[in-house]
Structure 1
């Protein structure tokens, strides 16, 4: 293509949605550059990328993921994974597709100084992007969008026991977790339908590849954005082992909350002192790029089944319970049920005889911490990524709350019908001992946001429409721009970001 109107960097949750929507306008040419493979049809996706009972993103060595060495705390290294395939992380994640909470949208709209991100404004867009196969069309849901949404079945014996345990402890039922009801127990809305994980590459782009104004190229990692006279005029990418410049009328970074800020740094956009330290010419001094991030700390609590339970039939996910920590925001704790043993998730097996099952317990209180720091002008040198977990007493308190909540569920008489109890931790009453157990078992939900936050003040990097401050022709449209991670996993919100930014671009 000769100088496309828009170059989209990344064909993941946000990028696929944005490119598909922009190319609905036949007068606009769109080029998508994806670092991973881009199949021409469904046959190009290996079976494990489609089987909703498997989670390829749990396997750092999987060929469809990229790995990022991070630090959850100053002394704890961790390997974070992201999708490197058409559909990005929606191709390798768990298929969780829960909307952000109304309080999240209010917080983002206030930070952005723009009602574009208010719940009232985004609700029609959320309806337009989904095909809710359970509830159909209505005031809260749509039935004609590209993303099929089905709630997980709660018929598995472990899921039935979870529901009964939650009910016995007085937690409310939350029949539709995409309806802003009071937090409680319910099925998980998922973009897995009939046992198949339907990623955004499939739902948005495969059907659009025959458009003459849309080109999607795989195996094309982008290394930087070309800036001339304060305007983005193209990108530098690698293709077939050679580095080349691709001209563009406008560039939109949809490479995710790790790669998008790194690309901005490599392009001279970020904190001036940090860029100068690694001999990167400063194009725009934007200290907010990479200054902090937002994610959800998580621990896995395994429990032993009394007898061998059946394999899950449609998804690795069972039910989910949302509850409120002692000092946090409403519904800021999540207990997510895995119907596949952790050993199976890591080892790509639905059944592991004798292995315990697990609850994934996470704290989803909106917070910022850590940082992403570029260490070299060489794009192949990974940035340093620090999460900043467990920095405050509030962080530790909330994790204690969610671990104890899981223990209470497993200890109920009704859950005892399927379980002989937790494997660990042994000590729950002593805060110091529990803090130590959590610190040595800490993980993350892989929900990174906030590395290129939107807003109007000096602690922001883009405006409400993703436009990078001080640079024309350049936007970011992925979870980087959310000032804080939502109170729920951000997969559905990542797709929404692509939709909202595309709509803004078309209106402009």
Structure 2
């Protein structure tokens, strides 16, 4: 199978790919092709917020795992990634967080500071609170208050304030520190994935083609230039040509994998797999970062956890009012804190869920419970994504190397101390009747041991095709013409907070760069 050439070929219909397809196809004179390995986003559990957990390890999930993690006693952590239109926005926690100003300014890359990106955050946003200094209305992405209104989540926020933390009603406003209820990418109580927000309204455009169930195997490189991609749908070869550019938006695991399979990466490693080297870029797949997280779990006898979602009243609330437990994003509340007084910015984030969360969300809850805990916001540890083989259908070898820099583990233990102090507050007494999964004590040894045995991921991989290393400041792959990467892999350092909103803003600016509309980075 071979299609007529397009102007732009986009690989991956996730957070970034949906934005690129929608924005680039606004010009009726260009032809855009968006390619997704998975199917259309028609499964009902995608759009029912609480249904996301039922999508794990299904055909809509790439179903990755880390390699044996050396500091985590050799454990392998489950890494869900959406394999469907919308990508991981079809199964994420829907928390809308932009990150801290210092994250972007700290990259030190022209054109990528916070003030450069803020207009793109605002361009995307349709916040139900209305327009303000910090927010906008009228954009494609709905940002809403949670409708679950679970009393456990509200009690968690109250307990954090009782423990001495500030209340914060807007983590994307004047400051990030403090605790509150999260705003969500939902619309009328349903998931507003980036496919719903950006792609669906554009599907009728005659200049936009969306190919589903096509797994791209490599970029077609001819005389140092990207000319398209080749892949497979079932057993049929698919070749799609690009006259202007190929844009990889396959995520922090799959974008570096595709570059490596295409001969772009560390030359010695590629030659060892009999892959012809097109560009020797040692940074491809390196610099992998993530937010390691640890949950404290308390069980209780109050019949108000998300186990109540199976009751008839929950269905009535959803059908008649688009509210109640079926609208829950699970991590309904949380906040940002500093583990040391000398820090200028928060270094841990909490997510609180009115549910028993075990085994990375893979184990079914059996009791009413509260699960909450810290994640490390600015990890120093770095992992990598490499090829297990030259076979493009083989999963990449992912090693996050959590806590290989011991500073991250020290931050986690201090975050756990903060969490345990919150758990002791009066407001949480009805929901912390029994310590189901907590450290043996608050000694440093027990906290470290608990963290090592119970660390999971917040599913925020980034950094594997970083600006300033693999990419130039306009996201172009060094040493290859007509090829860019646009997704979380471009971040030189991970931002503080959940990553969908930052990826969306990055893609918004990338679309302007491709169209020649963005302010060009200054020299230097």
Task: Pick one of 403, 417, 420 that aligns with 2:416.
Answer: 403
Residue equivalent to 1:499: 508
Provide the C-alpha distance between the structure 1 equivalents of 2:491 and 2:23, rounded to a whole number of angstroms. Answer: 21
Residue equivalent to 2:402: 389
Provide the C-alpha distance between the structure 2 equivalents of 1:485 and 1:345, rounded to a whole number of angstroms. Answer: 21
Which is worse superposed, 253-262 or 481-490? Answer: 481-490
The equivalences for 1:89-128 within 5 A come to 89-108=88-107, 110=108, 112=109, 114=110, 116-128=111-123
Q: Kindly state the Cα deviation for residue 38 of structure 1 after the two structures are TM-superposed.
A: 2.1
Query: 2:10·2:35 contact (CA, 8 Å) conserved in 1?
Result: yes
Task: Pick one of 295, 298, 302 that aligns with 1:303.
Answer: 298
The equivalences for 1:74-85 within 5 A come to 74=70, 75-85=74-84
Q: Compute the TM-score of the two structures, normalised by the length of structure 1.
A: 0.92
Query: 1:133·1:148 contact (CA, 8 Å) conserved in 2?
Result: yes
Residue equivalent to 2:212: 218
The equivalences for 1:267-346 within 5 A come to 267-309=262-304, 311=308, 312-313=324-325, 314-315=327-328, 316-326=330-340, 330-342=345-357, 346=361
Q: Kindly state the Cα deviation for residue 182 of structure 1 after the two structures are TM-superposed.
A: 4.1
When the two chains are superposed, the root-mean-square deviation of aligned CA atoms in Å is 2.0
Flag structure 2 segments of 5+ consecutive residues without an equivalent: 309-323, 518-524
**Partner of 2:295: helix, strand, or coil?**
strand
Residue equivalent to 2:478: 469
Query: 1:425·1:434 contact (CA, 8 Å) conserved in 2?
Result: no
Q: Kindly state the Cα deviation for residue 376 of structure 1 after the two structures are TM-superposed.
A: 1.5
Query: 2:15·2:194 contact (CA, 8 Å) conserved in 1?
Result: yes
Q: Kindly state the Cα deviation for residue 421 of structure 1 after the two structures are TM-superposed.
A: 4.4
Residue equivalent to 1:163: 157
Residue equivalent to 2:45: 48
**Cα–Cα, structure 1 residues 441 and 97, in superposed 2: closer, same or farther, change >3 Å?**
same
Provide the C-alpha distance between the structure 2 equivalents of 1:244 and 1:392, rounded to a whole number of angstroms. Answer: 43
Q: Compute the TM-score of the two structures, normalised by the length of structure 2.
A: 0.89
Residue equivalent to 2:29: 27
Provide the C-alpha distance between the structure 2 equivalents of 1:69 and 1:305, rounded to a whole number of angstroms. Answer: 32
Residue equivalent to 1:7: 9
Residue equivalent to 1:42: none
Provide the C-alpha distance between the structure 1 equivalents of 2:455 and 2:32, rounded to a whole number of angstroms. Answer: 41
Residue equivalent to 1:67: 63
Q: Kindly state the Cα deviation for residue 339 of structure 1 after the two structures are TM-superposed.
A: 2.1
**Cα–Cα, structure 1 residues 285 and 449, in superposed 2: closer, same or farther, change >3 Å?**
same
Provide the C-alpha distance between the structure 1 equivalents of 2:157 and 2:103, rounded to a whole number of angstroms. Answer: 27
Provide the C-alpha distance between the structure 2 equivalents of 1:182 and 1:245, rounded to a whole number of angstroms. Answer: 46
Flag structure 1 segments of 5+ consecutive residues without an equivalent: 40-44
**Partner of 2:463: helix, strand, or coil?**
coil
Q: Kindly state the Cα deviation for residue 481 of structure 1 after the two structures are TM-superposed.
A: 0.4
Provide the C-alpha distance between the structure 1 equivalents of 2:150 and 2:114, rounded to a whole number of angstroms. Answer: 34
**Partner of 1:171: helix, strand, or coil?**
coil
The equivalences for 1:234-245 within 5 A come to 234-245=228-239
Query: 1:288·1:461 contact (CA, 8 Å) conserved in 2?
Result: yes
Query: 1:87·1:199 contact (CA, 8 Å) conserved in 2?
Result: yes
Provide the C-alpha distance between the structure 1 equivalents of 2:221 and 2:37, rounded to a whole number of angstroms. Answer: 21
- Deviations along 1:178-213, whole A, 9 cap, x unmatched? 114141011212102332111111111111111111
Query: 1:72·1:389 contact (CA, 8 Å) conserved in 2?
Result: no
Residue equivalent to 2:446: 433
Q: Kindly state the Cα deviation for residue 244 of structure 1 after the two structures are TM-superposed.
A: 2.9
Q: Kindly state the Cα deviation for residue 59 of structure 1 after the two structures are TM-superposed.
A: 5.4
Query: 2:369·2:431 contact (CA, 8 Å) conserved in 1?
Result: no
**Partner of 2:18: helix, strand, or coil?**
helix
The number of equivalent residue pairs is 491
Task: Pick one of 126, 135, 143 that aligns with 2:137.
Answer: 143
- Deviations along 1:113-165, whole A, 9 cap, x unmatched? x1x1111121111111010012x122221111000001335842212211211
Q: Kindly state the Cα deviation for residue 243 of structure 1 after the two structures are TM-superposed.
A: 1.6
**Partner of 1:505: helix, strand, or coil?**
helix
Provide the C-alpha distance between the structure 1 equivalents of 2:294 and 2:67, rounded to a whole number of angstroms. Answer: 15
Q: Kindly state the Cα deviation for residue 399 of structure 1 after the two structures are TM-superposed.
A: 0.9
Which is worse superposed, 472-481 or 156-165? Answer: 156-165
Q: Kindly state the Cα deviation for residue 46 of structure 1 after the two structures are TM-superposed.
A: 2.1
Task: Pick one of 16, 19, 32 that aligns with 1:17.
Answer: 19
